[in-house]
Chains A and B, each alone.
Chain A
């Protein structure tokens, strides 16, 4: 999304391209089934992100509400995807691999990456918007860290 803002390319395509290197990690460490499911999930998110604006438009959106809403929706969505043996690529692959092999929870891995990313983003974008985005990212990863635990129901 940061690349999309900076370059002006559409989010859907940038999202698809940035994910490609992480498939190597997925393929060699998480297996073929996980990788194929992840590829399908990423492709669907790319398509849906383009389709949604044509069927739905907001006239007003409070940025705090937007951040929390996105955080809650994406947090729940990612837990569902994780529990069905896939990810949305990228850091999620790394996070899941670390959760399963090193015992570090995926939620905290992703949160660490996001904090670093937003520190960088604060130099490029309006820091207030970045702060709001951080609220959303904290919500996403808190939900995942608290609820997606190796000793609970993780699916298989």
Chain B
């Protein structure tokens, strides 16, 4: 992690192992619920999660399993750029989220859900969850790694990088799904990425491990 962080005086940004564990657990748990709401409404999103959702809808395989597999190639990039700790934490976070998104439906059934509300719930929950995961030195998927590389190298905010990848996925979704689904999905993705772009800034609190 780069050392050029400007923070209020006396700010402690170093996280202990236990603090990272709780931060990652909460982030992953909240993201899992957000993705369950998203897939229940049949919406899509960007990033690896969006790719996994589309593959899951088309193939009938569970979202968790697809999400786990699609993420595998990206750990090499994460290891080269961010080191072992980041890669192990990201692997743990992705694995936990894959399992949780498949487990949550066992304890929570939704029988009525407006797609607009689903989009907003998804965007807000996953936005907050991903912030927690980023601030505790991990990522929830390949595009997040890619976005963090670009943010640290070129100073382009991670949120905007992810927005670019999302645009590609949504072009694909327009071909595959009804326009109303794509429209609501877009709302969710915009909320998610705005939350990250506005709140995860190098000159604010980003956390250190």
Contact = CB atoms under 8 A, between A and B. Distances in A.
Interface of A: 52, 55-62, 64-66, 68-69, 72-73, 75-77, 80, 142-143, 146-147, 149, 151-153
B149 interface: no
A131 to B, nearest CB: 17
Given A146-B19, A151-B12, A153-B205, A58 B111 contact: yes
Interface stretch (B25-33, B43-51, B157-165, B166-174): B25-33
Interface of B: 7-8, 10-13, 19, 22-23, 26, 29-30, 33, 104, 106-114, 116-118, 121, 125, 128-129, 132, 204-205
A64 B26 CA distance: 16
Given A55-B116, A57-B112, A80-B128, A72 B26 contact: yes
27 contacts: A55-B113, A56-B113, A56-B114, A57-B112, A57-B113, A58-B108, A59-B109, A60-B107, A60-B109, A61-B108, A64-B107, A65-B104, A68-B29, A69-B33, A72-B30, A73-B125, A76-B26, A76-B128, A76-B129, A143-B22, A149-B12, A151-B10, A151-B11, A151-B12, A153-B8, A153-B13, A153-B205
Contacts of A64: 107
A152 B205 contact: yes
A interface: dominant SS: helix
Contact of B114 (A55, A68, A152): A55
A61 B108 CA distance: 4
A152 B11 contact: yes
A72 B29 contact: yes
A94 to B, nearest CB: 24
Nearest to B205: A153
Contacts of A52: 117
Contacts of A55: 113-114, 116-117
A119 B207 CA distance: 37
A58 B109 contact: yes
Contacts of A143: 22, 26
Contact of A60 (B13, B19, B108, B116): B108
